[in-house]
Structure 1
């Protein structure tokens, strides 16, 4: 019964209404750039996590996921990152901005080299130049980004992901290639990729490779490696990339691949993206136990603080415990009269979010609860100096006897 109560209390801290006042469910915007590099106007779809508590808490910044074939994968990746980062208290991965890059000529944009057999091929380097010199700077200057980027692509898009990984490694922190077209130009690009993977260092770079079942009946992954027909070239090339990358651990690439026997080329993106996010952010999830939640000492908030310091080290920038989460924990502690714990939570928020009026109002509530009138007045005044909130004003005037 106690554990059931804990689960209910814990979930209540995270479940927030997503109702929108205009009665429309909108998950993103269509933005456009006039590219000098591509000499054309390019549309991108952009999702920014919904800050429904934006009027209460400090503005957040987010890592960015870039998608090749944006129109095909935007909805699923947005939904998945939202589910894994916020829904039901999930912290499998961080909340992330998603940028879908749409095509004007898919073959041109996503193939790395010219193949005379394929018209308009070989323009991926130019697209990458656009991403590096125009798109990323635009996204970083327009949206609330953090310096962590991920690239996802499927089929030709997966081929473009591998091209970016081996030739423009520093552009992204993490790469997800989904059933990539590694047989491109009779495997010549595959051979070039293998040479680079053997020689280059990829410290702190993540690469997840998903492989679909594109074999004909009667084949398995052992038989297909021994086959030489064009019919098996696609999966043979991907398996060769997977096995070669796995063997070359000296390059320090954080690599994992998986063969999805129940998924074909068209169905494999969703499950690959799901598994890849778990792999790349294996360190991110914070497991709160029943004993953590019921602890009345400062051990629980100290554990949270330590966890986010470890996350910061992995992500390469300072990641703070979410203001709303810590605020909720603080009030939960306050309601249970765990005053030292509540104080630690509220002061942690003051330290991390000094520009937020809410953190001072909450600390003021703590001082009211412990009977420290003078400090309560000080912190309510600090809150009001940032933003005039009627409820905070009423609390202050009550303490001042007005």
Structure 2
């Protein structure tokens, strides 16, 4: 018989042993690291109201655990609560016993009880979580750019280094931009503090004298053990609310040529090659016939709607592109029976009403994973239909349904959890 509950402070030590074995690539088995980790876990379990550590017990023995996160996310200009899960770990002796599945089921149950309609996670295996109803989020693109490829403006008049005394101004800048950017989370206190407490971090900001209008959070990374001047500059956050702020920070990056070999930029911006002079990443790889490798990309953050009716209530003030149509939506959700089934959506000039019953013009059918990606704006309905992932009762409505869910605002997320 399994039990899942919040871990007490004594049990955190056992959880750390499980985590150390589950994540050997990031967790060193040294006593010193385990004690530092324990100290951090106790502090956050005690004082951070945006997360909790939970454990999976069988026969009163801890065999796994996870960390639950309570976030607030911009969904098409409305800030909604969302749930996150991280550090899912199972004891090595209890692998392949469906422990991870139990934890994820409990994770969704917890947030359903709190009235949260969407949850997110970073997958250790995307295919595993896709089968559990999580849909793919936007890809992350890694560019490796020569400093001189960044545009050089007329100067760096408004730039200065930022320190902990600027924390509130930085948060005001980020929050202002997050409220206008689909998918971004508001920063937690711990996340904000970590930006300034990490001694490897540097931060410059565009300060117009009244407020911070952009900032660049970065660190340096050695490229060689024998050549101390051979370094990369790694961008961790690049936030700006105007072309002027972007250009001055770009000028800063341009000026690092003598100290930096490549600027590593992990971003969900797909068109960085329009900003920089030379998009090549230094690999010298060519794709047929002559396409120069500019970046590598990866699938990461995944979204899952756990209450379809609830998410449309969240979106009652969102206009679905001024479309008028009556659509029956059939969602397949094998893990949450209460979310499996159909609902009627009446769109009138883009405004939606959710009905239990009613007439409809067209019916669409798809898995909750793909519907989650569709609703977030990651993928279009037309793409899902062409891939055979969505069904449509009347193909003449393809463009109408596609337009309903189409957005130019693909989601972005820079928060790690």
Per the normalisation by structure 1, the TM-score is 0.24
Q: Give the number of the structure whose alpha-carbon radius of gyration is greater.
A: 1
The structure whose residues are more often strand, as a share, is 2
Between Structure 1 and Structure 2, which shows a larger proportion of helix residues? 1
Bigger relative contact order, structure 1 or 2, given CA contacts below 8 A and separation 6+? Answer: 2
